[in-house]
Amino acid sequence: MIAVGLAMDAFAVSVTNGITVHGFNRIHAFKQGVFFGAFQAGMTSAGWLIGSSVKEYIERFDHWIAFILLGLLGINMIREAVIWIKKRFVIQKAA
């Protein structure tokens, strides 16, 4: 899942650079590919190493972190739905 997300990000940036940067050639494309590949591999590895080292400390309350984050996400989704419904009915009443 992480690989797909990183690949889509790199693809989007690469396409954008190919379209907007004047004089973008194979050498630039190669440098960009190496740059993205190295950083994505490095960041994924760094995340794994850091996560492995703090795993023992976080395991005690990781379920609470997930509960809070998912709760905040759900509350935000409900809030956005209420705002969308209010805007929709205001537009319909005005018409």
Residue 79 pLDDT: 97
pTM: predicted TM-score of the whole model, two decimal places: 0.51
Burial class (CB in 10 A: 0-12, 13-18, 19+), 11: exposed
14-72 per-position pLDDT tens digit: 888 888 888 888 888 888 888 888 888 898 899 999 989 999 888 999 999 999 999 99
Q: How far is CA 2 from CA 5, 7, 41, 44, in A?
A: 5, 8, 11, 9
Mean predicted confidence (pLDDT) in 78-84: 95
Q: How confident is the model at residue 88 (pLDDT cuts 50, 70, 90)?
A: confident
